[in-house]
Amino acid sequence: EDPLLLVLPSDHLMYDYERFAALIRQGGEVAADGQLVTFGMVPTAPETGFGYIDAGGALSADEKAFRVSRFVEKPDQKIAEEFIAAGNFYWNSGMFIFKASVYLEELKASRPDIYEACEQAANAMEKDDDFDRVPADAFQACLDESIGYPVMEKAAQAAVVPFDSGWNDLGSWSALWEIEGKDDAGNVCIGDVVVEGAKNSYIRGETRMVAAVGVQDVVIVETKDAVLVAHKESVQDVKKIVRQIKDNDRNEHHAHVQIYRPWGEYESIDEGHRFQIKRITVKPGERLSLQMHYHRAEHWVVVKGTAIVECNGEEKLLTENQSTYIPIGATHRLTNPGKVPLELVEVQSGAYLGEDDIVRFEDTYGRS
């Protein structure tokens, strides 16, 4: 009725599973006594990419847990070195364990607005088979804040358990360089990569060959969306690039070449003035919404599988190497009736080709 909740990130690595499990059990014992427990990683270096936890007095004679004196944001190099020298600071892992009731009490006391938004969202959930759906308006009413800020930093019963299981946050490209296998020059090369005179670098190519000559201590990542080149010590500053993109009214921070949908995925291949070409993949048995576009026409060519195309109330079956044309304003839908993925090439043409030029009349997945 009042469970312990263990909150973990998805992008971390544990080297010692048995020690990890033992520390989680240890934290659970402290949480069962009413403490909001966070796990503080025992630091191995003055890392500026992590926040820190200042540990206060011990909660027991065995010093397995300490009171949280304060949380500190990511420090500069000098302050990080001072923290390491002090001996009572830990990296903030973002991992927690606590009783549900204790967390809700602290949330209600420190941020009643978030508590009320969550309560209203929970009460408004609708059952959909075995899935509980939160209404969009109720979800959006809750402010976007992490556990640390509204609750842990203000909690009267916050404790930290030192964590020494061998842990890596994997929160940056340089962290991936640390854990991957390296060549004799200290390079991690993934994909079609050719190096000459490169040292201690992380080089990743996902869609084309990447060549690196005479570089050292850098990160090079090539994807369908973009290419990143950074010094390993500066990879955390990629957030500043994202901020520049937003400030310049660009869309790369949210518009990607490959987009996933409930029915499958599509990938932009090419685009220019008044045209765009996409590769579309529809999973077996799935179908797109019944829709229309005000500003674009579409040409579909099936390259693999079988398609049922509905256009203005008429249906036709297309197989490989067959095509069809969807005029501007036509009500249409695409279905994969087969047992294998349906792949087709779509050529869009028109005055406006944005993804928001879609009017849905019917949708299997409940989208508006």
- Digit-coded pLDDT (tens) for 244-274: 999 998 888 888 899 999 999 999 999 999 9
Which amino acid, one-letter code, is at 111? R
Average confidence (pLDDT) over 192-206: 97
Token look-up 């797109």 returns 288
The pTM (predicted TM-score) of the whole model is: 0.71
Model confidence at 350, pLDDT cuts 50, 70, 90, reads: very high
Nearest to 306 by CA among 343, 252, 332: 343
Other beta carbons within 10 angstroms of residue 159's beta carbon come to 26
Report the alpha-carbon distance of residue 102 to residue 151 in Å, rounded.
Answer: 11
Q: Which CATH code fits 258-362?
A: 2.60.120.10
Give domain limits for the chain. Answer: 4-168, 173-237, 258-362
pLDDT given at position 96: 93
Q: What percent of the chain has pLDDT over 70?
A: 99
Instruction: Concatenate the DSSP letters of all residues of 66-115 into one string.
Output: EEEEEEEPPP-HHHHHHHHHHS-EEEEEEEEEEEHHHHHHHHHHH-HHHH
166 has pLDDT over 90: no
- CATH topology for the 4-168 domain: Spore Coat Polysaccharide Biosynthesis Protein SpsA; Chain A (3.90.550)
Residue 43 carries which DSSP code?
P
